[in-house]
Amino acid sequence: MSDTTADVPEVPELDLSADLVTLTRGLCDLPSVSGDETALADAVEHALSRYAHLEILRDGDTVVARTATGRPTRVVVAGHLDTVPIADNLPTRLVGEGAQAELWGRGTVDMKGGVAVQLALAAALTAPTHDVTWVFYDHEEVASDLNGLGRVADAHPDWLAADFAVLCEPTDAGLEGGCNGTLRVEVRVPGVAAHSARAWAGVNAVHGAGEVLRRLEAYEPASVEVEGLVYREGMNAVLIRGGVATNVIPDSCVVTVNYRFAPSRSPEEAEAHVRELFAGYEVVRTDVAAGARPGLDDPTAADFAAAVLAVTGGEPAPKYGWTDVARFSALGIPAVNFGPGDPMLAHKDDERCPVWQLTACHDALRAWLTA
């Protein structure tokens, strides 16, 4: 008789009672590039299933663990399991000692340091002052239609029902409210093809794109105050393509423009603004995602801000990039970004997270959830 158990892959072990550095290294050293999160999702599900105070749910490679103590409020604490591709920066390594120690490697910042904080608290807090839904989701670093949080919001909206949400994206252990929206358009410049030896017979579309670039160069992005936080906008060419051969005058050129807009603007208003800037050109929207207002005037959000800033110090700041707080905002749930790691180091080959930030974020969240 054959041994069928030999065909079942062994689930990697995660010790959720380990110190934060050990737990973060265990998460990071188990690769989970977008689309390859199953092994890590299995490990997270297996580790959390040992705790009787948690109900475990799963959709694809998204794992949800939630308490049910009957508290009057419920909060979501969420983080994604996937990373961008590895760049010879695993396994992790610990550099320095004491307050100067840093954990180097893919995912330490974006965002397995935050996931380690979540897991440690999910295991330890059997009776938090708010019921908590801990969400560990897949496919954040790729196309938005693959995003595990979005998939769960569509398929199981009751799993995300809450009064407030915290996204453990890297914020340098500071509190960042809301996020900018993002819009991408193609500005299309027409031309007329001709042999490059007889250029006068054609119209060079690449040359014509110069006016598009001049408008961008002259554009002055706004800084917009929203609920006390100042969001810096941005309007930039991010791609340009044109031409078919080295001896042909290009008959078309396309400039892809990315507009990062303050959360006070709707996607429709953002698109109208871009179309006004490029009046006279064909403008085709290719992607848009609404931003999220800070929401710090919500009572639960205000309590959270007071609790975490008492531990970490500083003042609330805006999130300039787009994050999944916007998904919670679309569900009517106020949400903030709060996690270890400098977002400027996310996706970089020298990605690294100060150990003190792991501890600070853990202690701040614990203080809030046990107050």
DSSP E strand boundaries for the chain: 55-59, 62-66, 74-80, 93-95, 102-104, 131-137, 164-167, 175-177, 181-190, 194-195, 223-226, 229-232, 234-242, 248-249, 252-261, 282-289, 317-318, 335-338, 352-354
pTM of the model: 0.88
120-124 mean pLDDT: 98
Report the percentage of the chain scoring pLDDT > 90.
90
347-368 mean pLDDT: 96
Closest among 3, 11, 75 to 43, alpha carbons compared: 11
| Mean pLDDT score of the chain | 95
Q: Which long-range contacts (CB under 8 A, 24 or more apart) does 219-227 make?
A: 219/277, 222/262, 224/262, 224/264, 224/265, 226/178, 226/262, 226/263, 226/264, 226/293, 226/294, 226/318, 227/177, 227/178, 227/293, 227/294, 227/295, 227/296, 227/297
Query: Residues 150, 151, 154, 155: is their CA dihedral positive or negative?
Result: negative
167-184 mean pLDDT: 95
Token pair of 308 as six digits: 């975490």
- pLDDT for position 7: 59
Residue 231 near residue 262 (C-beta atoms within 8 A): yes
Lowest mean pLDDT among 10-14, 31-35, 212-216, 323-327: 10-14
- pLDDT for position 1: 44
The per-residue pLDDT for range 30-55, each reduced to its tens digit, is 999 999 999 999 999 999 999 999 99
Q: Order of strands across the sheet with 181-190?
A: 234-242, 252-261, 181-190, 282-289
pLDDT at 74 over 80: yes
Report the percentage of the chain scoring pLDDT > 70.
98
Name the pLDDT band for 308 (thresholds 50, 70, 90).
Answer: confident
Residues catalogued as catalytic: 82, 140
Name the pLDDT band for 2 (thresholds 50, 70, 90).
Answer: very low
